[in-house]
Amino acid sequence: MAQAEANDVDWGPRDGRGEWRPPGGVGEVPLLVWPPRPAAFFHWVFSTNGYFAPWFAFFGFVIVVQYFFFLPSLDRMATLSVDWIAELYVQNLVMLVAFNGGLQLWLYRFRPQGTRFKYNGKWPNYSSKTFLFSNQLADNVFWSVVSGCTVWTAYEVVMLWASARHLLPSPSWSHNAVYFTVVLLLTPIWQVLHFYLTHRLIHSKWLYAHVHYLHHKNVNIGPWSGLAMHPIEHLIFFSAGLIFLFVPCSPFHIVFIMVRLGLQPAQGHAGFHEFEIGPVGAVHNDSYYHYLHHRYHTVNFGDDIIPLDRWFGTLHDGSEAAQAAMRKRSRAAIESQSK
């Protein structure tokens, strides 16, 4: 039986609260491990559920289409003007609505797979006074479109303008193919590092209370929850793209990181381990790592590619042992504050 046709409990257990845990919980990516595991690393890089597939390839395809067929020319972008900036914003908005909205309609409106492979066994209760407009979905769409897409585009405009004006070192593919490729392949790893560092920052007491709380209203997450952030958090989150103000890059690198930053949160917040998409079959979407962060708030600040949570003792792998360790840390923190 194909996994897409299986009941999720054939692959992982559901507890009494309806929470589904994938087999093995949160695994370990064989990248920064000791001793090295070359065979496992090779499999992770090139397997259909690894570094390249499905999501690096999917986002790469979207970015190539935009860059070569729709992006304003560098000649136009060398001069700041409303026309090409508005054009870029509309392109980003179309991608955002198509991807986020497509996942939302398929998984949460049409529900062809029901709650199979959904981490939280319950559907979101969108009617809640906790959210703007008393509706979680409307709240999420508002923050994603009005603030998220605007900040995304603003960063992209500044960097593309600087590149078009030759204010940034810009290697070409024809003369620097190896460098071009290496930077492209390492960009997602930089995103993970930046996300962990800034995520720990916005979990500090003041920033959480005034900024990050808005994102954490989403406990039973969905695709639009990914970019449902306070505008200050958008400024922090999309600042990962500023790496190319310091690292020599081409305009393609700029578009590559900014589109990934704009679209990837929907994939990471979809709430499903697998997407069952008709003739395509089961599309793997292991986002359990970040789901547990929304479930418990004080664990899994980063991503499993760089094991920073494992190194700093904030990893929750879904196991009972990790649950007990998290409770122990929470009790210790409370006792420390009460002294």
Q: What is the pLDDT of residues 142-162, one digit of tens each?
A: 999 999 999 999 999 999 999
Residue 339 clears pLDDT 70, i.e. is over it: no
- pLDDT tens digits, 30-87: 999 999 999 999 999 999 889 999 999 999 999 999 999 999 999 999 999 999 999 9
Q: What are phi and psi of 85, to 5 degrees?
A: -65, -45
293 Cβ partners below 8 Å, 6+ apart?
299, 300, 301
Domain assignment of residue 67, yes or no: yes
pLDDT of 6 reads 56
Structure-token pair, residue 259: 């589109």
The whole-number average pLDDT for the span 293-297 is: 96
Closest CA to 261 of 153, 334, 166: 153
Which ranges of 167-250 would DSSP assign to H, the alpha helix? Answer: 177-202, 205-207, 213-216, 231-237
Alpha-carbon radius of gyration of the chain: 20
pLDDT of residue 4: 42
For 148, residues 6+ apart whose C-beta sits below 8 A from its C-beta are: 96, 227, 228, 229, 234, 262
What pLDDT score does 172 carry?
Answer: 72
Reported in sequence order, the residue ranges of the chain that DSSP labels E, i.e. its strands, are 274-277, 281-284
Give, rounded to a whole angstrom, the gap between the first and last alpha carbons of the chain.
57
Assess contact for 25 and 317: CB atoms under 8 A: yes
Q: Is residue 101 over pLDDT 50?
A: yes
25 torsion bin: left (phi>0), alpha (psi -120 to 50), beta (else)? left
Token pair of 58 as six digits: 């999917």
CA 57 to chain CA centroid, Å, is: 15
Helix (H) or strand (E) holding 263: helix 251-268
pLDDT of residue 2: 40
Burial status of residue 294 (CB atoms within 10 A of its CB: 0-12, 13-18, 19 or more): buried
CA quadruple 233, 67, 53, 112: dihedral positive or negative? positive
Task: Please count the structural domains in the chain.
Answer: 1
How far CA 226 is from CA of 94, 145, 162, 241, 331, in Å, comes to 16, 12, 29, 17, 30
Determine what percent of the chain is predicted with pLDDT higher than 70: 97
Mean pLDDT of 181-194: 96
Inside any domain, residue 1: no
Asked whether the predicted pLDDT for residue 131 surpasses 90, the reply is: yes
Find the mean pLDDT for residues 166-172: 85
pLDDT at 112: 95
Examine residue 317 and state whether it is found in any structural domain, yes or no: yes
The domain of 124 spans 6-338
Mean pLDDT of the chain: 93
Specify if 80 maps to a domain: yes
**19 strand-pairing partners:** 120
pLDDT of residue 1: 33
Please report which helix (H) or strand (E) contains residue 296, including its range: helix 288-296
Concatenate the DSSP letters of all residues of 321-335 into one string: HHHHHHHHHHHHHHH
Q: Report whether pLDDT(171) > 60.
A: yes
Token pair 């209760």: residue: 125
Left (φ > 0), alpha (ψ -120 to 50) or beta: where does 313 sit?
Answer: left
User: Which range among 154-163, 175-184, 221-230 shows the weakest confidence by mean pLDDT?
Assistant: 175-184
Query: Higher confidence at residue 75 or residue 9?
Result: 75
pLDDT at 3: 45
Structure letter (DSSP) for residue 31:
S
pLDDT tens digits, 278-290? 777 889 999 999 9
Residue 225 has, within 13 A of its CA and on its CB side, a CA count of 24
Give residues with Cβ within 8 angstroms of 321, minimum separation 6.
Answer: none
